[in-house]
Amino acid sequence: MEERLQKYMARCGVASRRKCEEIILDGRVKVDGVVVTELGIKVNGNVSKVLLDDKEINLEEVKRYIMLNKPEGYITTVKDEKNRKTILDIVNVDERIYPIGRLDYDSSGLLLLTNDGDIYNNIIHPRSVIDKVYIAKVKGIFTDEEMNKFKGGVDIGGYITSDSNIEIIKTMRDTCKVKISIHEGKNRQIRKMCLALGHEVITLKRTAIGRLTLKDLDKGQWRELSLDEVNYLKNL
């Protein structure tokens, strides 16, 4: 059965569909010996020969579904032009996998990786409404008024965030810890939301994506998802 080239590439574990589109437009892909530079072409994975950077790609026989407790100081990419450490320096598997979403260099916590393009799109598609839970330590103490503003949407520079939730779980002398739940994934969104209300984020950790939680997974450790967890993601 034919399918769009970028979808086939994503199912081969190359990258997300959007990133695969960029790769196609950069002229790095050949189909049956012809360089493809436009979107829309369809291929049959059982018949067509697809090359990326002159290396043939095929559907991965083994699907991998991995949860990582990302430490600070790692980039959520497969490669980094500045030669910084990436999450694949921690998760070293034979299959080509890629992260679902991202966590900032200075942030830690739950990150999912896979070579299953369908699950990737289930999670990041704009129509998906999946709560992501974070624990943040911030400067200052949130007031009730500030938390109400946070929940109703914050301007983070030309974009008003959707409704979210925030609660204080611990107060200290001049800082506090808050539990935040959002379903969006804008770049550095929580840091920008807190800063917009006068609270700089000191530390930030993601603890849950939907029903998936870190549980007792230590920082810097990773594990395969259970069958129940995989089925949950497939049925989102």
105 and 157 belong to one structural domain: no
- Per-residue pLDDT at 144 exceeds 70: yes
Structural domain boundaries enclosing 32 = 2-56
CATH number for the domain harbouring residue 174: 3.30.70.1560
83 and 37 belong to one structural domain: no
What is the per-residue pLDDT for 152? Answer: 96
204 and 225 belong to one structural domain: no
136 and 204 belong to one structural domain: yes
- Per-residue pLDDT at 98 exceeds 90: no
Pairing of strands 201-209, 50-52: unpaired
**How much of the chain, in percent, has pLDDT values that exceed 70?**
98
Q: If you average pLDDT over residues 98-126, what whole number do you get?
A: 88
Q: How confident is residue 88, by pLDDT bands cut at 50, 70 and 90?
A: very high
Q: How confident is residue 95, by pLDDT bands cut at 50, 70 and 90?
A: confident
CATH number for the domain harbouring residue 16: 3.10.290.10
204 and 145 belong to one structural domain: yes
Q: If you average pLDDT over residues 46-72, what whole number do you get?
A: 89
- Per-residue pLDDT at 60 exceeds 70: no
Which residues touch 52 (CB under 8 Å, ≥6 apart)? 9, 14, 23, 28, 29
What is the CA 69 to chain-centroid distance, rounded? 13
142 and 199 belong to one structural domain: yes
Token duo for residue 26: 């950069």
**pTM value?**
0.76
- Per-residue pLDDT at 206 exceeds 80: yes
38 and 139 belong to one structural domain: no
71 and 47 belong to one structural domain: no
Integer Cα distance of 1 and 126 in angstroms: 27
182 and 70 belong to one structural domain: no
87 and 190 belong to one structural domain: no
Q: If you average pLDDT over residues 17-35, what whole number do you get?
A: 92
Phi first, then psi: give them for residue 229, nearest 5 degrees.
-65, -40
> Secondary structure of the chain in the HEC alphabet?
CEEEHHHHHHHCCCCCHHHHHHHHHCCCEEECCEEECCCCCEEECCCCCEEECCEECCCCCCCCEEEEEECCCCECCCCCCCCCCEHHHCCCCCCCCEEECCCCCCCEEEEEEECCHHHHHHHHCCCCCCCEEEEEEEECCCCHHHHHHHHHCCECCCCECCCCEEEEEEECCCEEEEEEEECCCCCCHHHHHHHHCCCCEEEEEEEEECCEECCCCCCCCEEECCHHHHHHHHCC
Count of residues for the chain? 236
175 and 200 belong to one structural domain: yes
Q: Whole-number mean pLDDT of the chain? A: 91
138 and 120 belong to one structural domain: no
- Per-residue pLDDT at 171 exceeds 90: yes
Instruction: Give the number of domains in the chain.
Output: 3
Active site residues: 104
